[in-house]
Structure 1
Amino acid sequence: MAWYAVQYKRSEGDRALANLEYQGAECFFPKIAVEKIRRGKRTSIMEPLFKGYLFVNVDNADPLWSKIRSTRGVSRLVAFAGKPASIDADIIEYIRASVDRLNDQGGISKGQLLKLHDGPFRGLEAVFQRYDGDERAVVLISFMQKQQLIKVPLASVASL
């Protein structure tokens, strides 16, 4: 048995996954928690790690081969020169472990101690206060013997 990438139709990843599993295929559809702003509130939603693709573990002799392309939600099986491109099981296990680790971390919570690693306040410690849009955070720093609230890019903060 080997893993293969399946391209699903736009916005039909969950449908393709359900239909492939219903037919008895072992599937892997990696999703990660992403924080988005919806109606003015920050919410966490699950999004596919590889937008447009999921993975299926199928034996070459399995009759499911002939059904994959006609499965509802599936666009095509990823192939090169007419041959389905197999993916090593070690790569799938690495992706699975990485996704699990990412989803366990979650986002930054209020009061969490951070270190600024970019910008004019590089090297200072900060306390996370809140998100400011999708790309920035409001943090509290001690600067010039005062507590200051500043806005910094999320990319410039790291957990201690």
Structure 2
Amino acid sequence: MPWYALYTEPRHEKKVSERLEKLGVEVYCPLVTQIKQWSDRKKKVEVPLLPSYVFVNVEEAQRDIVFQVSGVVRYLYWLGKPAVVRNAEIVSLQKWLHDTVVTSFEVTGIEVGSVYTIETGPFSGLEGTVSKVDKNQMEIILEQLGFKVILKK
């Protein structure tokens, strides 16, 4: 079965995921933990990696079942058809989110516009174009996956 990207109402990703699971739909909502600062405290919260998007694994004939859930807006389309996300891309995303993240690095000899091949980690072997290099940050665009990775020191 193919994976499809669903567009949800803002801040409804977790609720949509829970409701779709209750319907028996295989769903993946990538979450990351962030520390949020309020005036009186700090708290760790899980927020969606891709705001307003969840991935569902359903047969093409049963795609309409997702619209039984409130919070679902539409499928993401590519060239007039619902965009299919390859299983390998979902697995890479899951692996990336569960692997250890390197928090210390030094950017030397890398320039904007150069092609950089990732040598280790969940994205190993993927090539990306460097879009920004600062003293404390480097941005790499991974065109194969359709997103930008930001490495901060």
The count of aligned residue pairs is 112
Which residue of the partner structure matches residue 90 of structure 1?
Answer: 88
Q: Could you tell me which amino acid in structure 1 is paired with residue 8 of structure 2?
A: Y
User: Considering only aligned residues, what root-mean-square deviation do their CA atoms show, in Å?
Assistant: 2.7
CA deviation profile, 1:70-95 (whole Å, cap 9, x unmatched): 42110111113431110110000000
Note if 1:73 corresponds to 2:86: no
Structure 2 unaligned spans of 5+:
108-135, 138-151
Could you say which residue in structure 2 is the equivalent of 1:9? 9
Give the superposition deviation at 1:24.
1.0
SS of 1:69's partner is helix
Aligned-partner Cα distance in 2 for 1:23–1:92 = 21
Taking structure 2 as the reference length, the TM-score comes to 0.63
C-alpha separation in 1, matches of 2:43 and 2:25: 32
Q: Which runs of 5+ in 1 are unaligned?
A: 109-113, 119-154
What amino acid is the match of 1:32?
V
Q: Does 1:19 align with 2:16?
A: no
**Partner amino acid, structure 2, of 1:79:** Y
Larger strand proportion, structure 1 or 2?
1
Q: Aligned equivalents of 1:78 and 1:99: distance in 2?
A: 22
Q: 1:28–1:56: 8 Å Cα contact kept in structure 2?
A: yes
Structure 1 residues 5 and 16, CA gap change in structure 2 (3 angstroms): same
Task: Compute the TM-score of the two structures, normalised by the length of structure 1.
Answer: 0.60
Asked if 2 retains the 8 angstrom alpha-carbon contact of 1:69 and 1:77, the reply is: no
How high is the sequence identity, in percent, across the aligned residues?
23
